[in-house]
A and B are shown apart, each in its own frame.
Chain A
Amino acid sequence: MLTTLLLRVSPRRAGAVVERNVLVHRRGWVVLASGFFEPLLYLLSLGIGLGALVGRVPFAGESVAYPVFLAPAMLAVQAMNAALTETTFNVFGKLKYMRLYDAVLATPVTPLELALGEIGWCLARSGLYSGAFLGLMALLGLTPSGWAILAWPAAVLIGFAFAALGMALTTFLRSWQDFDYVMIIMMVMFMFAGTFTPLGAYPAWARPLVELTPLYHGVTITRGLSLGHLDLAMLGHAAYLVGCCILGLWVAARRLGRLLQP
């Protein structure tokens, strides 16, 4: 069903939705820049400051310095945060308060084109962050392997997965109060999705829960690439993220249609 819908999408109209966002953010560069700084600050504080106390942590049979271990995770977190804030907070504002989508859907633009446009913008934005962050990691000497360059497209995939899931989630939110739940989800993933510690450090009962989070799969990919530990399991992790993209898009397009065209 999604594929037949996708075939009818006009890239030009979805592109117009992206254009609108570009236009708005040409002026709001401070907000854009802050999305880049936040994970950098976490990296400097927890990776390097706290990292000095942590020393080395085990990874794939050897031990790596904590900042090297943490940096690729922050890359994944950044992709998640950028995607989720854009598709939850910003999209919700446009949906409920600015009535922007009512106006957009009075034109030939369809709900799916609208969703794809918003996600496309979100990816462009998070791709920009990821690229800059990855460059910074390399500068700081936190990318031991040349494979790290592939962490960029990986970060974009992570962004896509969370953008699609975020769009879907937003269609279920009722008021700003509900954003507390979004924040909880983001925070719990940030803290417990294998970002700060290897999976082995979690108690056995918690590990399957950790493995359920999309962020865990994202972190595993970026960390493996950054440290040069490639294996076939990575394809599985990537497949999980692709699954999230499809599920999110499908739900988002259906629900947006139902919300805006009752």
Chain B
Amino acid sequence: MRMIGCVSPPSAGSLHILGLDAATHGPAIRSRLGVVPQQDSLDVELSLAENLTVYARYFGIPRQVARDRAAELLKFVQLADRADSKVEPLSGGMKRRLTIARALVNEPDLVLLDEPTTGLDPQARHLVWERLYRLKQRGVTLVLTTHYMDEAEQLCDRLVVMDAGRIVAEGSPSQLIARYSSREVVELRFGLDDLAGPAGAELVKALEPLADRIEALPDRLLLYTDDGDAATAAVAARSIEPTSVLVRRSTLEDVFLHLTGRTLVD
């Protein structure tokens, strides 16, 4: 993200952003970017409106234009009534929205968002998503990184799955689901003892013919199949009795876990 923002030089290869070489045109590229960093870097010594106007001045935007844009953007992120308040008392969601407004102050062609809703409560996340969706509607290109698959599903037209710095898959959310997962998933929950050791292995073996693919977790078995109800009936027919059964649609989360593995990466 820092490299695309032209703050860090490319570590290897060449990098072109908006048709310009990142290594030589840093300031020119940055003037057309909006950046929403992972950690808020708002100016706590200034009011909300001043945060925007001062930031606009860094782009060389004339004072009056900066003031008008600040007012307009505060309205857009629904903070107009707090314009003269300081940053510190704001909630996490408000700070995020202010940061997003700040990233828009130069009317950028491209907005970089680094995990824009990490750490926000559900209401605040939905508000941020809704605002970002509006931006998308206006034709602004958004590049965002996220760990939340629901966020990616909500916002992205095209999505790239990265694992340990490499691209492992690419496409629209529905394409990726179609390519790397089945239509439905049956989650069978068992007691921890049932799935441990040879008993667990036997269980998986018994269920194997019923699904395209089986994922064994310590407390659950996931059956990837195109018809969840049929698979559920087949499980019952074999008199296997899980403590609970859940049939759901396959999500990006399944794609992600399938592609990058379940081992915990810290």
What residues of chain A have their CB less than 8 Å away from a CB belonging to chain B?
Answer: 10, 12-13, 15-17, 19-20, 23-24, 98-100, 102-110, 260-262
Contacts and interface: CB of A to CB of B under 8 A. Distances in A.
Given A23-B50, A107-B31, A108-B30, 16 more contacts: A16-B57, A19-B54, A20-B46, A98-B45, A99-B39, A100-B43, A103-B43, A106-B7, A106-B37, A107-B58, A107-B59, A107-B106, A108-B27, A108-B58, A110-B26, A262-B8
A100 B58 contact: no
B140 to A, nearest CB: 17
A16 B62 CA distance: 10
Interface in B14-52: 26-28, 30-31, 33, 35, 37, 39, 41-46, 50
Contacts of A108: 27-28, 30-31, 58-60
Q: With a 10 A CB-CB cut-off, give which of B33, B41, B42 has the most chain A CB atoms.
A: B41
B52 to A, nearest CB: 12
Contacts of A102: 7, 37, 41
B116 interface: no
A107 B9 contact: no
B5 interface: yes
Contact of B9 (A15, A19, A261): A261
B55 interface: yes
5 contacts: A19-B54, A20-B43, A20-B54, A102-B7, A107-B106
Contact of A13 (B5, B9, B60): B60
A13 B42 CA distance: 18
B174 to A, nearest CB: 33
A98 B37 CA distance: 13
Interface of B: 5, 7-9, 26-28, 30-31, 33, 35, 37, 39, 41-46, 50, 54-55, 57-60, 102, 106
Contact of A99 (B27, B30, B41): B41
Contacts of B30: 106-108
Given A98-B41, A98-B43, A106-B37, A20 B57 contact: yes
A52 to B, nearest CB: 43
Given A16-B60, A23-B46, A261-B8, A103 B27 contact: no
Given A24-B45, A108-B30, A103 B57 contact: no
B43 A105 contact: no
Nearest to A262: B8
Contacts, number: 68
A109 B43 CA distance: 16
Nearest to B36: A106
A12 B41 contact: no
Contact of B35 (A106, A260, A261): A106
B87 to A, nearest CB: 10
Given A99-B39, A99-B41, A105-B7, A13 B58 contact: yes
Contacts of A262: 8
B261 to A, nearest CB: 30
B214 to A, nearest CB: 45
Contacts of A261: 7-9
A100 B28 CA distance: 21
B60 A19 contact: no
A12 B59 CA distance: 9
Contacts of A98: 41, 43-45
Nearest to B29: A108
Contact of B54 (A13, A23, A99, A105): A23
A97 to B, nearest CB: 9
Given A19-B54, A107-B30, A109-B58, A260 B43 contact: no
A12 B58 CA distance: 8
Contacts of B44: 98
B144 to A, nearest CB: 15
A250 B102 CA distance: 31
B2 to A, nearest CB: 8
Nearest to B37: A102
B60 A12 contact: yes
B58 A16 contact: yes
A107 B29 CA distance: 9
Contacts of B58: 13, 16-17, 104, 107-109
Contacts of B8: 261-262
B66 to A, nearest CB: 10
A106 B43 contact: no
A103 B37 contact: yes
A105 B41 CA distance: 11
B60 A103 contact: no
Contacts of B31: 107-108
A121 to B, nearest CB: 13
Q: Which 3 A-B pairs have the closest CB atoms?
A: A16-B57, A107-B58, A99-B41
